[in-house]
Amino acid sequence: MCYERALSAIYLEEADRIAQMEVIHHTEFVAKISGIDPKRNPSEALRRTYDRLDLDMIWFTHDFIHPWHIAKKMGERFITTPHSWSKFLPTIWRVTYTINSVEDVLEFNPFEVVDIPSVDELAEYFNQVHDKAQSLFKNQLVPGGTYLTCFMWPLMLFGLKWVVKASFYDPRRFKRLIDRFAQISLLQFRAWAKTDIKVFISHDDICSTQGPFFSPRWFKQYIFPWYERLWKELKSKGIVVLFCSDGNITPIIDEVAKAGADGFIIEECCDLEYIAERYGNDKVIIGGVDIGVITYGSIMDVINEVKRCIRVAGPYPGYFINISGSIPDNVPLSNLEVYFRACKRYGLRIRHSAPP
């Protein structure tokens, strides 16, 4: 039922209750729900957790190469900090940057350091990766996805400081750099379009909690034309495209919609009411639950946060309730248990809104 419920929401058809997608990294909670030590068997522990919570869709992205793989080739160092976020899914932190000048950024050519497969080879690879994930999470919808739509390439490779410097130092050469990375993304999108996925997560962190990193004009010049081109590869095959970014995308969400996004995965700093009223009938909306409330609020705060999101976005068929970002170890176990109970109680479609 979960898989079908997710598809109903993706295709803007009402189901028995509001769909739900969560990214759960909470070690103690996963162990309690699954009955398995997630440090020993994380995949099976997560599978049982998602099944027992009756969750509908899995967060999933996969790229054939990661910017940090390139960074390691350049001699940069990374460390693992096992207790900073999740005991069973440790965080990797970057320790060094080898970039010393704007010229290092502007003259970088990824095609000199990345072995580029053919579209067909990549499609076969993506199919295998996706089939493996879908066979593990049999009861949930597993999307295709990329973490590296466009802006994430230079952001993860060089860091935001150098991206900002390079873009203003020489806009023409910076556009050439973006275009080089986007050509790699185009290869990935064409390959994903050859797979049997139903929905695709297109991730690109272009905002902070205060809003976009650059002006809308900047994004129109460098990024949004590529979004439109990349997403057409998938949409032409009937694949639903969901755009995901950290931070507050409200100021540019209209431009993202114009570029062709079929839906949005949003954080709590976004204006859920505006997005729901403007796009709830036509787009998929995932998110809105404030991780800060779930982490630091009382039991009643948690319940009221669920009610708020369901009241605002629940009446729309494409809404997935979802805690912004992921759920780390520092969330109180009692709050997390209340959260999932509240989602199930107040998410029934026959209610259409949370009680006052």
Residues 68-72 have a mean pLDDT of: 86
Residues 326-351 have a mean pLDDT of: 93
pLDDT of residue 71: 87
Residue 289 φ then ψ, to 5° = -75, 130
- Looking at the chain, the whole-number percentage of residues with pLDDT higher than 90 is 87
**What is the pLDDT confidence band of residue 270, given thresholds at 50, 70 and 90?**
very high
Picking from 241, 317, 243, 324, the residue whose alpha carbon sits closest to that of residue 280 is 317
Residues 46-64 have a mean pLDDT of: 97
Residue range 2-52, pLDDT digits in tens: 999 999 999 999 899 999 999 999 999 999 999 999 999 999 999 999 999
Residue range 96-149, pLDDT digits in tens: 778 889 999 999 999 998 899 999 999 999 999 999 999 999 999 999 999 999
Task: Enumerate helices (H) and strands (E) in the chain, giving the number of each.
Answer: 16, 11
Asked whether 19 and 6 are in contact (CB, 8 A), the reply is: yes
CA distance 21 to 31: 19
Helix H or strand E segment including 26: none
CA distance 207 to 249: 6
Task: Say yes or no to pLDDT of 352 above 80.
Answer: no
Task: Say yes or no to pLDDT of 356 above 70.
Answer: no
Residue range 173-232, pLDDT digits in tens: 999 999 999 999 999 999 999 999 999 999 999 999 999 999 999 999 999 999 999 999
pLDDT of residue 93: 80
CA distances from 155 to 183, 202, 325, 343, 352 (A): 16, 16, 19, 35, 41
The domain limits of the chain are 2-346
pLDDT of residue 355: 44
Distance of CA 332 to the CA centre of its chain: 24
Does this model's pTM top 0.85? yes
CATH number, domain 2-346, options 3.40.50.300, 3.30.565.60, 3.90.1150.10, 3.20.20.210? 3.20.20.210
CA distance 136 to 105: 40
